[in-house]
Every structure is written in structure tokens, then in C-alpha cells.
Amino acid sequence: DTGVSQNPRHKITKRGQNVTFRCDPISEHNRLYWYRQTLGQGPEFLTYFQNEAQLEKSRLLSDRFSAERPKGSFSTLEIQRTEQGDSAMYLCASSSQGANSPLHFGNGTRLTVT
């Protein structure tokens, strides 16, 4: 078990372009989360999957953002028509279904929109 894996680690894109990030959770975890973290702040919740079902979405997740987890394993987060304000660290986390199962985070994808 290598923990939560995120790719790419860094992404630089021009404003208006689309980007996609991938997250591979810990293999036995059926819950997967996306968070966003800006400089000097703690992570903020974006969305959550249980298996392949997207069960919750934050109001931070605008229409330009879409997340999928088609087979209940890896997940992708796509941002369309990127804006400079999208620049942040995008963190993925996973947990098992137990009531007290803590979240384990990956090392994130650092997005810079120029």
C-alpha cells in the first residue's frame, strides 16, 4: 500500500485551458474526497464519493468543475476554462467506511493558472 497517489504533482496552464487531475486512493478505501488548499489556508472540502456515487458537493465546486469516479476506484477532477483564481493545491483523500475512519491525504496537485 503506497497511500493516496495524485498525478500530476504540478500543472501550469494558461487561463481558459482545461485541466484534469487524477487520484488513486488507498486500495481498500471506498470513500474518496477532493479538497482545495490555497496558500496560508487549510484545505477546503470540494466533493465526496462513496464508491462510484458522488454524494456531496460543496458550493465551492462551480459549474466549471467536474469530478468522476467511474469504477469506484480512481477519480478525476476536471476544471474547464481555468481562471487565475483556480490556482491552488488540489488534494485528494480517501477513507474506509467505518464511522471513525480518518481521512488520508495524497500529496496534491499544485495548479498554477497564468
Partner 1 sequence: GQQLNQSPQSMFIQEGEDVSMNCTSSSIFNTWLWYKQDPGEGPVLLIALYKAGELTSNGRLTAQFGITRKDSFLNISASIPSDVGIYFCAGAESPSSGSARQLTFGSGTQLTVLP
Evaluate whether 83 touches 15 at the Cβ level (below 8 Å). Answer: yes
Find where cell 468543475 sits: 65
Exactly one of 8, 44, 51, 78 binds partner 1 (CB under 8 A); that residue is: 44
What are the backbone angles phi and psi of residue 104, rounded to the nearest 5°?
A: -115, 125
Binding-site member from 12, 18, 56, 78 for partner 1 (CB under 8 A): 56
Binding mask 62-91 for partner 1 (x = CB under 8 A): -----------------------------x
Grid coordinates representing 95? Answer: 477513507
Q: Which residues is 54 bridged to in the sheet? A: 49
Least Å distance, CB 16 to partner 1, is 27
Does the footprint of partner 1 cover residue 31 (CB under 8 A)? yes
Pick the binder of partner 1 from 7, 50, 73, 76 (CB under 8 A): 50
Cis status of the peptide bond prior to 25, with omega within 30 of 0: no
Nearest distance in Å: CB 94, partner 1: 11
C-alpha–C-alpha distance, residues 8 and 2, integer Å: 16
The distance of closest approach from Cβ of residue 11 to partner 1 in the complex, given in angstroms and rounded to an integer, is 14
CA 111/CA 79 separation, integer angstroms? 10
- Residue 107 in contact with partner 1, rule: CB under 8 A: yes
